[in-house]
Structure 1
Amino acid sequence: MHRPEDAPTAFAAAWNAHDMDALGALFDADARFVNRFGRYVRGADAIVAMHRPIHQTIYRDSTLANELIDVAAIGEGAAIVHFWSRLTTGAAHPAGPHSVDTLIQAVLVLADSGWRIRALENVTLADPRSGAPVLRD
């Protein structure tokens, strides 16, 4: 990633190719990741290990469509990126084809080889009264 605002596109490209090595390369070696279910893992290897089995099974025919919301510089070589993400599952998912919208917050740092994700948290959009998933317009 050459700029922090490349994160949503790069993340979706790796996901949609189901290329977990490419996904892992987006992250700093000591990155933190919180998935949409609240599972926390630390380290690029652990992030890949969390995603590889689901991309071989229930998400093997899924796609992501990401949309940048904003980028906030927080210092020299550091930025916070927010983006919308729509996960669309296919027939491989036990619940069948459906979509889920999430809001992703990522902290990126500049390294010798470009920008890397140091921390990422993914939150499912849900009705606060019922907990039912909500798709944004």
Structure 2
Amino acid sequence: MTPEEFPRAFAAGWIARDADALAALLSEDADMLSLTGAWVEGRKAILATLKAELSGLFSRARLVTGRSKLRPMGPGAAVLHQRFVLSGLVDEEGRDMGRIGALLIATLVARPEGWQAVALQFSATEG
């Protein structure tokens, strides 16, 4: 996978609610700040967090891809900024929570198995 393909792969995993596919986008020793504010270290913990979030608050969430910006940081490293809009979020009582903007920021590195995130932040935004 190339850095340019990362946002598409992330969106596909999210839409499919495939926590395994999403976790595979990150290195074994990656760090992640999730959309719910959970800070997790390591792919195993990231996978558990993604499974919980995708079966809870984001169980019916739809993701629309917005603007993307890729900043190469030298050979084998890049920082990705990817905007998304999420809708279909549900609270504990199953009520729709409306739409939110989100920003994915990933520090990507080239690995033998392809480009992976070593740090990923998925945060709500105002716009």
Unaligned 5+ runs, structure 2:
none
Q: Quote the RMSD (CA, aligned, Å).
A: 1.6
- What is the alpha-carbon distance in structure 2 between the residues aligned to residue 39 and residue 55 of structure 1? 13
TM-score (ref. length: structure 1): 0.82
**For structure 1, which segment, 36-45 or 15-24, has the greater mean C-alpha deviation from structure 2 after superposition?**
36-45
Alignment of structure 1 residues 60-99 onto 2, 5 Å: 60-89=59-88, 93-94=90-91, 95-99=95-99
Q: Which secondary structure state, in structure 2, belongs to the residue aligned with residue 46 of structure 1?
A: helix
Q: Which secondary structure state, in structure 1, belongs to the residue aligned with residue 73 of structure 2?
A: strand
Q: Which secondary structure state, in structure 2, belongs to the residue aligned with residue 110 of structure 1?
A: strand
Equivalence for 2:118: 118
Deviation readout 1:3-39 (Å, 9 max, x if unpaired): 1111111111001101111111111111111123432
- What is the alpha-carbon distance in structure 1 between the residues aligned to residue 69 and residue 99 of structure 2? 23
- What is the alpha-carbon distance in structure 1 between the residues aligned to residue 14 and residue 48 of structure 2? 14
Deviation readout 1:97-127 (Å, 9 max, x if unpaired): 521101221100111111111111123213x
- Distance change >3 Å, CA 57–CA 39, structure 1 → 2: closer
State which structure, 1 or 2, has the greater radius of gyration over its C-alpha atoms: 1
- What is the alpha-carbon distance in structure 1 between the residues aligned to residue 122 and residue 59 of structure 2? 19
TM-score (ref. length: structure 2): 0.88
> How many residues get paired?
124
- What is the alpha-carbon distance in structure 1 between the residues aligned to residue 40 and residue 108 of structure 2? 17
- What is the alpha-carbon distance in structure 1 between the residues aligned to residue 29 and residue 2 of structure 2? 20
- Distance change >3 Å, CA 25–CA 102, structure 1 → 2: same
1:8–1:68 Cα contact (<8 Å) kept = no
Letter in 2 for 1:116: Q
- What is the alpha-carbon distance in structure 2 between the residues aligned to residue 46 and residue 15 of structure 1? 17
Structure 1 residue 58: deviation in Å?
2.8
Alignment of structure 1 residues 1-137 onto 2, 5 Å: 2-89=1-88, 93-94=90-91, 95-126=95-126, 136=127
- What is the alpha-carbon distance in structure 1 between the residues aligned to residue 44 and residue 67 of structure 2? 26
Unaligned 5+ runs, structure 1:
127-135
